[in-house]
Each structure stands twice: as structure tokens, then as C-alpha cells.
């Protein structure tokens, strides 16, 4: 039997509890708020695991019932779950504690069916704040139903914060020029999601770009003049430009009122007492219109002055400011100039991520969350092995340096091409290791996730997912760089095409390995619960994506190096690419609005024409 996150204390006792069709879920009279949410989650868990739909009542429990109650002896988020032959009892120190006990009980029903082993579980989180940060801007604008599904997952694995990264994909009332080419979230979407999360003890925290990464705002005719670089709004769309440029000019007197107005409008939709202004990757600061101020005062000074004004503005409104720590880590002492309640989001995504930045910010007295990542950006399949190593390491640093929380990130650089379901293993790693420091081996936790989350009785599916990116020779970042060099004449960083594409043995081995993975997935299909089988088609589409793009990269490498290419083979590959992309678009639309799909299409079709 597997439980994720692993409970702190489990004591098995003799006997078994048997559910039957007369079993009721009984809410204590002390549970006034969200009681029906807890009961509904448990009803679904029982139904999925046994086929029985337990009724829900309020009052006293009879023999055989499942009783939900508060306990003054327990702390916030702490729960106690007791399974006896005569009934099941869930107690929480607060509503979150009750919910977490319910989620553990649901995992028991999912694995044991209608007969549960008697046991006593007492549990509480190691980290008070355990969050998930999802890019809702640079490619995918996930649908409201899928965002609710994500909230359900966060609840299932006891995460309690959720942030959506937004640059331009919210429908600001007076900024239609910014979002007109997108499919933005609306105020109703945000408020409905906020209420849905709140019922599940998840704080939906607003996150809005306010400094760097303002590509769409600063590419408009109305606001292009506020960009640090001159006439940037006249340039054609570029994934590279969107990643590297479009920092707002902080020396223009019109900038601050505009940004504060956006913050005010967006902040009003949330019940959270926090606000993430982002303020990361301000690559162009001091290089254009603010150059004179930077030469006079220093880039760090104009950076911290701007961030301080926004943080003080939020503090005046009784909000806790948050911001990404990549810039301030260069001069950590500047954290003392920000309001005392400000949280620095110290991030690092390498498998062997160093602790240097975490230590510097801790020594400077910063309140900080540590922020690992699920490794999906610019990949058809998330780098699952890398994300495991990164998340385990960053959660360890969080304990060492007394971080206030973990915020696990899921970015969408260059179009967010990976299917969102592929971030689920990383999401669960973050939940497991921020709740409980007890280590779980990579292969073992993947077996557990396969069974608990994907209902795969073979326990193999996540392991197969983790194998896929190892055979990617021409990933999405490579494809973007090569395309933009040719089509938009951007100078790339490093090599234009990876040398591995010229290794015919490596290309053959990759194709063979991907073929074996595809066949193994088809064998696993029989082990997957019917409710999860749709994932299998997505995985087959993704295996093909890696294989096709490897071949596309190989042709590109041969042409760049004047090696022989059979034109009929290249043309056939173009047709294969276009046919695959039709299925990819269909998959995209199952969970996402159109978003940046048109920009991805432009790149794909350019490659098809290039092949021909």
C-alpha cells in the first residue's frame, strides 16, 4: 500500500474495516464551512474505489460510519485518521487538517477497495507553505475545467498554494491591444477558480509580470514607448525576443501608474493576502532608455527602487509582496530595503542545483520560498529525472535554511509545448518532499505515482515517461533557435544545431529506443484504469513528436553541413510532420484555449516548407 505524501506516523492494528451500502459520511456539527466539500471528495473517493456511494449526514456517527470532526488537540493542517472495525474517524486541527485526512483515506480506498486494514495515522506537514506555480501565459492558456482539475490534484497531494503566471493573458478592461490576439482568462474565470481553490484550502495567489517579461504590453502601439529598448514594438513576433527582452522603462513617469493600475484591477479578483510581482530577468535594464540613470546610480539601485515602490504599494494595501530572487541574489543586502513581510522567491532548476543563492538570502535575513521546477519547458516530455533531483535538493535546502515554503514551478518558455499532464510527476515530487523529508528512491516514487495517480497496476507508466526525453536529439529550443536564425535573422547563443544530429548511430539508436518505448506503452495500456486511458494517446503522440523532430533536425544538420539528403525522403517527412501536428492540435485543445498555438503552427509549417 502506498500513500503520498508519506504520513509521519502509521501504526497498524489488528482487524479490518468493511464498508457497505449503508455506510454514511457523518459531519460533526462543529464543521460548518466547507463540510460538504470534504464529504463530496470522500464520496467520490469511496465511489471510485468501491462503487459504493456513501450518503452524507450531519450529527452523530453510528457503527460502521465515517466521522469527520475537529480536534483542539491538533495543530493547523495536522490530522489524525483512525480505522477501526467499528468505523473510521478523521480529525483535523482545522479544516485543512480534516481535508488532508480525507485525502489520505481516499488513497486507502483506491488501493484496498471496500476492506481497509485497521490503522492509526497521525500526520502534519514539514513545510507550512507548499505551492505550485503554473505558466498560464507563454503558450497555453489552460481551460477553467483543467485548472480546476489541477486544483483537485493539488488538494489530493496536500499542496496549499497555487499561482498562475500571467503577463498578458488576463482580459484587462482597458488593455485590449495587449490581449486581442490571445484567448485570455476573464475576471469570472479567476473568481470562480479562487472560490474553488478556497473550498479546498488552496490559496490562489495572483502573479503578474510587472517589470521584465512584458512582451505583449510593450509590443503595442499604445505602450511600446515604455519599453527599455527603442521601437521594439515594430519587430515581428519572436519566441527569443519574448524570453530575452521587453523590460519596462522605469525612468518614464507613465510606467508606475500603468503597472499599479494593472495590479489594482487584477488583485481585486483574489481573496489571497499575497501578490507576486515577479520582477525577474530584467535583462535590458540600464541598456536603453534608463542607461543614463544606470550610469549615475547603478543598475541595482534603479532595480531595487522600482521593486521597493511596488512592494510598499502592496504592503499599504495589506498584501504580502512576493518577487523572484534572481536579480537581488547579486546584492542580497538590498532585501533590507523592502517591507519586512516581503517574500523572496529564490529559484534554481539544475539537477545538481547549488545552495549558494539560498544561503546568501538566508544570511541576509530574507523571508524566502525555495523554488524548484518540473522541467517541462522547451521539451516534448518533461525532464522527469532532472526534476526529481532538483526538487529533492531544493526541498532539502529549504529545511536547511528555514525557508517559509516551497513553490514548485512549471514554466512555458517558447510556447509551453509539453502536454500539462506530463508535469504531474514533478508536481507530486514537490508535494511529497515538502510535506515529509523522508526520502523515496526515484524508481520507487515513480511506481507509486503510476499506481496512485495514473491508476496503472503495472507501476510502469511514469518510468516510461522518464525514459522518453533521454532520446530527444533535437528539442524544441533547438528548433526555435534554428528557425529564428533563418526566418528572423537572430544570432543564437552557442551552436546553431547540436553536433549529435550528425551522428547517424545516435540517430538510429534514438529511433530504436523510441520505438521500444511506444510498444511498451501499448503493452501497459491493459493495466491502466479506463478513466486514465486517454493519457496513452497523448503519450503516443509525444513519442512520435520526439522521433519526428529528431529526423527534422537530422535533415537540417545535413543541409547545413552539405551532406546528401534525398529530397523525396525529406518531402515525405514534411507530410509526416503535418499529419502529426493535426493530432497534436487536437490534443492541445482538450485542455487549452488557442493561446499561442498559432505561433507554434507558424514554426511547424516553416519546417515543413524547409523540408520540401
DSSP string, 313-370: HHHHTT-EEEEE-TTGGGSGGGGGGS-TT-EEEEE---TT--SHHHHHHHHTT-EEEE
pLDDT tier at 492 (50, 70, 90 boundaries)?
low
CA distances for 260 relative to 51, 73, 92, 230, angstroms: 52, 44, 40, 23
Q: How far apart are CA 200 and CA 428, in angstroms?
A: 17
**66-75, 222-231, 346-355, 488-497: segment of lowest average pLDDT:** 488-497
282, 255 Cβ separation under 8 angstroms: no
Using H for helix, E for strand and C for coil, what is the string for 504-551?
HHHHHHHHHHHHHHHHHHHHHHHHECHHHCHHHHHHHHHHHHHHHHHH
pLDDT digits (tens, 9 = 90+) for 587-612: 999 999 999 999 999 999 999 999 99
Q: 13 phi and psi, to 5 degrees?
A: -125, 175
Tell me which residue has cell 551532406.
563
pLDDT tier at 493 (50, 70, 90 boundaries)?
low
Strand partners, 207: 165, 276
Contacts of 556 (CB under 8 A, 6+ apart): 474, 482, 497, 501, 610
Residue of 462, 445, 457, 458 whose CA lies nearest to 539: 462
29, 33, 36, 39 alpha-carbon torsion, rounded to 10°: -70
Contacts of 53 (CB under 8 A, 6+ apart): 43, 46, 47
The predicted pLDDT at position 27 comes to 98
pLDDT(494) > 70: no
- Please compute the mean of the pLDDT values over residues 572-591 and round it to a whole number: 98
Instruction: Kindly provide the residue ranges of all beta strands, DSSP E only, lying in 93-150, ordered along the sequence.
Output: 115-123, 129-135
pLDDT digits (tens, 9 = 90+) for 297-344: 999 999 999 999 999 999 999 999 999 999 999 999 999 999 999 999
Burial of residue 257, with CB atoms counted within 10 A of its CB: 0-12 exposed, 13-18 middle, 19 or more buried: exposed
**Domain residue limits, the chain:** 9-123, 129-440, 465-611
Q: Give the whole-number percent of the chain exceeding pLDDT 90.
A: 94
- H or E element in which residue 299 lies: helix 299-316
Lateral strand order in the sheet of 115-123:
9-18, 115-123, 79-84, 87-92, 66-70, 24-27, 55-58
- Please compute the mean of the pLDDT values over residues 383-404 and round it to a whole number: 98
Which three three-digit cell numbers place residue 326? 534572481
pLDDT digits (tens, 9 = 90+) for 168-181: 999 999 999 999 98
pLDDT digits (tens, 9 = 90+) for 78-114: 999 999 999 999 999 999 999 999 999 999 999 999 9
pLDDT digits (tens, 9 = 90+) for 138-168: 999 999 999 999 999 999 999 999 999 999 9
The predicted pLDDT at position 598 comes to 96
pLDDT(490) > 80: no
Q: How far apart are CA 224 and CA 216, in angstroms?
A: 9
Tell me the CATH number for domain 129-440.
3.20.20.80
Strand partners, 68: 27, 90
Using H for helix, E for strand and C for coil, what is the string for 32-73?
CCCHHHHHHHHHHHHHHHHCCCCEEEECCCCCCCEEEEECCC
The predicted pLDDT at position 395 comes to 98
Which three three-digit cell numbers place residue 360? 546568501
Superfamily per CATH, domain 9-123: Chitobiase/beta-hexosaminidase domain 2-like (3.30.379.10)
Angle at which helices 567-591 and 597-611 pack, to 10 degrees?
170
User: Is 129-440 in the same CATH topology as 9-123?
Assistant: no
Q: 3-state DSSP call for residue 591?
A: helix
Residue of 589, 503, 585, 513 whose CA lies nearest to 546: 513
Which three three-digit cell numbers place residue 121? 495515522
DSSP per-residue letters across 188-211: HHHHHHHHHHHHTT-EEEEEE--S
As a whole number, the mean pLDDT across the chain is 96
pLDDT(434) > 90: yes
The predicted pLDDT at position 491 comes to 61
Burial 304-331 (b: 16+ CB within 10 A, else e): bebbbebbebbbeeebbbbbbbbbbbee
Tell me which residue has cell 503495472.
458
Q: 107 phi and psi, to 5 degrees?
A: -65, -35
Q: Give the whole-number percent of the chain exceeding pLDDT 70.
A: 99
pLDDT digits (tens, 9 = 90+) for 258-287: 999 999 999 999 999 999 999 999 999 999
153, 158, 164, 170 alpha-carbon torsion, rounded to 10°: 70
pTM of the model: 0.97
Rg (CA), the chain: 25
pLDDT digits (tens, 9 = 90+) for 228-266: 998 877 888 899 888 888 999 999 999 999 999 999 999
310, 215 Cβ separation under 8 angstroms: no
Q: 3-state DSSP call for residue 153?
A: helix
Which three three-digit cell numbers place residue 584? 497534436
pLDDT tier at 361 (50, 70, 90 boundaries)?
very high
Instruction: Kindly provide the residue ranges of all beta strands, DSSP E only, lying in 156-281, ordered along the sequence.
Output: 161-166, 203-208, 274-276
Instruction: Kindly provide the residue ranges of all beta strands, DSSP E only, lying in 124-167, ordered along the sequence.
Output: 129-135, 161-166
pLDDT digits (tens, 9 = 90+) for 519-553: 999 999 999 988 889 999 999 999 999 999 999 99
367, 341 Cβ separation under 8 angstroms: yes
Q: How far apart are CA 555 and CA 501, in angstroms?
A: 9
Amino acid at each position: 500500500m502506498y500513500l503520498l505524501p508519506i504520513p509521519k506516523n502509521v501504526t497498524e492494528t489488528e482487524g479490518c474495516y468493511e464498508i457497505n451500502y449503508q455506510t454514511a459520511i457523518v459531519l460533526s456539527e462543529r464543521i460548518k464551512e466547507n463540510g460538504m466539500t470534504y464529504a463530496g471528495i470522500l464520496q467520490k473517493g469511496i465511489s471510485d474505489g468501491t462503487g459504493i456511494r456513501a450518503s452524507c449526514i450531519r450529527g452523530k456517527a453510528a457503527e460502521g460510519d465515517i466521522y469527520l470532526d475537529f480536534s483542539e488537540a491538533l495543530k493547523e493542517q495536522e490530522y489524525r485518521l483512525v480505522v477501526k472495525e467499528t468505523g473510521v474517524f478523521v480529525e483535523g486541527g482545522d479544516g485543512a487538517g480534516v481535508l488532508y485526512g480525507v485525502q489520505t483515506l481516499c488513497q486507502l480506498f483506491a488501493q484496498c477497495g471496500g476492506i481497509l486494514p485497521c490503522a492509526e495515522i497521525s500526520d502534519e506537514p514539514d513545510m507550512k507553505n507548499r505551492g505550485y506555480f503554473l505558466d498560464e501565459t507563454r503558450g497555453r492558456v489552460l481551460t477553467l475545467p483543467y485548472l480546476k482539475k489541477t486544483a483537485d490534484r493539488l488538494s489530493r497531494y496536500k499542496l496549499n498554494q497555487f499561482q498562475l503566471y500571467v503577463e498578458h493573458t488576463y482580459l484587462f478592461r482597458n488593455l485590449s491591444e495587449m490581449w486581442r490576439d490571445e484567448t485570455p482568462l476573464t475576471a469570472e474565470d479567476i473568481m470562480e477558480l479562487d472560490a474553488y481553490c478556497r473550498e479546498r484550502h488552496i490559496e490562489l495567489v495572483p502573479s503578474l509580470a510587472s517589470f521584465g517579461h512584458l512582451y505583449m504590453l510593450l509590443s503595442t502601439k499604445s505602450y511600446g514607448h515604455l519599453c527599455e529598448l527603442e521601437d521594439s514594438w515594430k519587430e515581428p513576433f519572436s519566441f527569443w525576443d519574448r524570453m530575452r527582452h521587453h523590460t519596462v522603462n522605469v525612468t518614464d513617469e507613465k510606467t508606475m501608474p500603468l503597472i499599479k493600475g494593472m495590479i489594482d484591477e487584477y488583485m481585486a479578483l483574489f481573496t489571497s493576502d499575497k501578490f507576486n510581482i515577479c520582477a525577474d530577468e530584467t535583462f535590458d535594464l540600464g541598456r536603453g532608455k534608463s542607461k543614463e540613470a544606470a550610469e549615475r546610480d547603478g543598475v541595482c539601485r534603479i532595480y531595487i527602487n522600482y521593486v521597493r515602490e511596488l512592494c510598499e504599494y502592496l504592503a499599504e494595501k495589506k498584501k504580502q509582496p512576493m518577487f523572484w530572487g534572481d536579480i537581488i541574489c547579486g546584492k542580497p543586502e538590498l532585501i533590507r530595503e523592502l517591507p519586512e513581510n516581503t517574500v523572496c522567491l529564490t529559484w534554481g532548476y539544475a539537477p545538481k542545483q547549488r545552495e549558494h543563492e539560498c544561503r546568501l538570502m538566508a544570511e541576509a535575513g530574507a523571508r524566502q520560498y525555495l523554488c524548484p521546477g518540473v522541467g517541462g519547458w522547451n521539451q516534448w516530455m518533461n525532464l522527469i529525472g532532472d526534476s526529481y533531483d532538483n526538487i529533492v535538493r531544493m526541498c532539502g535546502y529549504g529545511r536547511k535554511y528555514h525557508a517559509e515554503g516551497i513553490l514548485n514551478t512549471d514554466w512555458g518558455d517558447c510556447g509551453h509545448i509539453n502536454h500539462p499532464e506530463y508535469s504531474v510527476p514533478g508536481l507530486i515530487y514537490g508535494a511529497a518532499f515538502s510535506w515529509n523529508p523522508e526520502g523515496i528512491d526515484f524508481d520507487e516514487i515513480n511506481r507509486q505515482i503510476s499506481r496512485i495517480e495514473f491508476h496503472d497496476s503495472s507501476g510502469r507508466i511514469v518510468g516510461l515517461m522518464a525514459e522518453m526525453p533521454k532520446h530527444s536529439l533535437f528539442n524544441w529550443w533547438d528548433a526555435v533557435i534554428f528557425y529564428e536564425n533563418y526566418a528572423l535573422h537572430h544570432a543564437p547563443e552557442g551552436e546553431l544545431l547540436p553536433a549529435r544530429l550528425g551522428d547517424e548511430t545516435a540517430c538510429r539508436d534514438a529511433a530504436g529506443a523510441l520505438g521500444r518505448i511506444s510498444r511498451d506503452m501499448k503493452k501497459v495500456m491493459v493495466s491502466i484504469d479506463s478513466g486514465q486511458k486517454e493519457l496513452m494517446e497523448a503519450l503516443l503522440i509525444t513519442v512520435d513528436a520526439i522521433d519526428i523532430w529528431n529526423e527534422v533536425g537530422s535533415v537540417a544538420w545535413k543541409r547545413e553541413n552539405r551532406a546528401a539528403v534525398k529530397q523525396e525522403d525529406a518531402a515525405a517527412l514534411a507530410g509526416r510532420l503535418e499529419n502529426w501536428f493535426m493530432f497534436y492540435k487536437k490534443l492541445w485543445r482538450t485542455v487549452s484555449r488557442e493561446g499561442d498555438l498559432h505561433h507554434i503552427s507558424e514554426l511547424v509549417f516553416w519546417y515543413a516548407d524547409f523540408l520540401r
